C-alpha cells in the first residue's frame, strides 16, 4: 500500500506541474474519470482509454490476486508513460 500511496503522490505532483493553472478536485473518483474521459473523447487515445478500462474490469475480487494485478498494472502504466 505504501508503494501505491507514494506513486499517487508523485503522480499528483506531476499533474499539478503540468496543469498548474487548472484547479480540479482530484479526490472524487467521478471527477477524475470525467476529466480523463473528456480529454480523450474523439481523439486517437480514446480506444486505448477504453482498453485500459476493460482491463481494469478483469481484476478479480480476490485480495491477494487483486494486489498483484494492481502492481502489474502500475508497472505497465509506468512503462507506457516513459
Kindly report the CATH number assigned to the domain that includes residue 47: 1.10.238
Tens digits of residue pLDDT in 27-42? 778 888 888 898 899 9
Return d(Cα 59, Cα 67) in angstroms, integer. 9
Give the phi and the psi of residue 50 in degrees, each rounded to 5. Answer: -60, -40
Q: Report the Cα–Cα distance between both ends of the chain, in Å, rounded.
A: 23
* The total number of structural domains that make up the chain: 1
- What percent of the chain has pLDDT above 70? 73
Q: Containing H/E element for 28? A: none
Domain extent for 21: 2-81
Q: What pLDDT does 1 receive?
A: 67
Q: What pLDDT does 42 receive?
A: 93
**pTM of the predicted model, to two decimals?**
0.49
| 5 pLDDT above the threshold of 80 | no
Amino acid at each position: 500500500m505504501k508503494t501505491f500511496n507514494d506513486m499517487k503522490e508523485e503522480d499528483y505532483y506531476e499533474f499539478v506541474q503540468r496543469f498548474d493553472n487548472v484547479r480540479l478536485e482530484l479526490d472524487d473518483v467521478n471527477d477524475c474519470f470525467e476529466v480523463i474521459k473528456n480529454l480523450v473523447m474523439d481523439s486517437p487515445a480514446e480506444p486505448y482509454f477504453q482498453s485500459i478500462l476493460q482491463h481494469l474490469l478483469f481484476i478479480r475480487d480476490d485480495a491477494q490476486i487483486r494486489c498483484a494485478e494492481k502492481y502489474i498494472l502500475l508497472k505497465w502504466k509506468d512503462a507506457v508513460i516513459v
